[in-house]
Amino acid sequence: MRGNPVNYDKKQFPIYPSNLDWDLKRYLDLIPGKEVLDLGIGHGKNSIPLVKLGYNVTGVDYSAKCIEICKNACPELNLIQSDIRTFLIKKNKYDLISSRCVLHFFHKDDSYEIINNIKNCLKSNGLVYIHVFSSDDPRLKLHANSKDFEVLENNILHNTVNDTYISFFTKNEILDLFKNFKTISITEDYSLDIVGGSPHYSGVIKYIGQKILY
C-alpha cells in the first residue's frame, strides 16, 4: 500500500442528490441478487436509492464524516469505516460491487489490486460498476506542471506534499483489467464540472462489467 488516503473529512465535495446514475439504472435487471458493496460510498449517491429499491447495501469509506452523513440519511445502510486498500471483501457474497470516483485516488498498484479483489470476490453473474479519471482529464497535465507533484510512469502522479497519489486511466486499460468480464457498458465523458470546487473540466471513464463463468 502506497501513500496516505485522501482525507474527505476535511475536503468539500458536492452533495449530489441521491439518485441512481443513468447507466446503472439502465442495467439494474442484470444484477442477479440483492447484495451490494459500495467501496468509497461517500454520501451514498447510488447506494441510498438502491436501499429504497430493496437492495441490502454495505458501504465502506475511510471518512468518518461520510459514514455519519450516510448513517443519518439512511439508517438501513450497513456502514464500515475502513481503508478500501486493506478491506477484505467477502467472497461470493455480492451481486454488485461499485466503486464510483474512488479508484483514481491511489497509486495504480493499489487500484489494480482492489480491482483484482473485486473480480475474484464478486458472485458469478455479478456486476461491477466503476468510474475513474481518464487520461484526457486536463488535471493530468496541470498537476504534472505543479511543483507539488512528481510524475511517475503510466499516468500516475505523486503529491509529495501530502503523500497521496492520483492515477489516470485509458479505456483500453480498463477493458484489459476486466478482460475476462463481459462488458455491459463503457463510456468516456469529458464535461464541465461546476459543482466540485471551482469550475473545471473532468474526464471520466464509466464501466459496467459482468462476471460470467464460462
Ligand X SMILES: C[S@@+](CC[C@H](N)C(=O)[O-])C[C@H]1O[C@@H](n2cnc3c(N)ncnc32)[C@H](O)[C@@H]1O
- Does 133 bind ligand X (CB under 6 A)? Our answer is no
Contact 100, 66 (CB under 8 A): no
Distance CA 174, CA 192 (A): 23
Q: Which residue among 23, 68, 83, 113 contacts ligand X (CB under 6 A)?
A: 83
First-to-last alpha carbon distance for the chain, in angstroms, is 33
Residue 118 near ligand X by CB under 6 A: no
CB under 6 A: which stretch of 24-32, 49-57, 82-90, 201-209 binds ligand X? Answer: 82-90
Strand partners, 204: 133, 189
63 contacts ligand X (rule: CB under 6 A) = yes
Q: Cβ 190 to ligand X, closest distance in Å?
A: 18
Residue with cell 463503457: 186
What region, left, alpha or beta, does residue 81 occupy, with left being phi > 0 and alpha being psi -120 to 50 degrees?
beta
By C-beta, is 45 or 107 nearer to ligand X?
45
Q: Does position 100 bind ligand X by CB under 6 A? A: yes
Look at residues 127, 97, 87 and name the one whose alpha carbon lies nearest to residue 36. Answer: 97
Q: Which is nearer to ligand X, 69 or 186 (CB)?
A: 69
- Comparison of 42 and 126: residue with beta carbon closer to ligand X: 42
Q: Give yes or no for residue 104 binding ligand X (CB under 6 A).
A: no
CA atoms of 28 and 50, how far apart (whole Å): 10
Q: Give whole-number Cα distances, 196 to 58, 137, 193, in Å.
A: 25, 14, 6
Q: Which stretch binds ligand X (CB under 6 A): 28-36, 56-64, 68-76, 185-193?
A: 56-64
Q: How many residues make contact with ligand X (CB under 6 A)?
A: 20
Mask for 29-48, x = binds ligand X (CB under 6 A): -----------xxx--x---
Q: What span, in angstroms and rounded, lies between the C-alpha atoms of 20 and 49?
A: 6
The contact set with ligand X (CB under 6 A) reads 5-6, 8, 13, 40-42, 45, 60-63, 66, 83-85, 100-102, 105
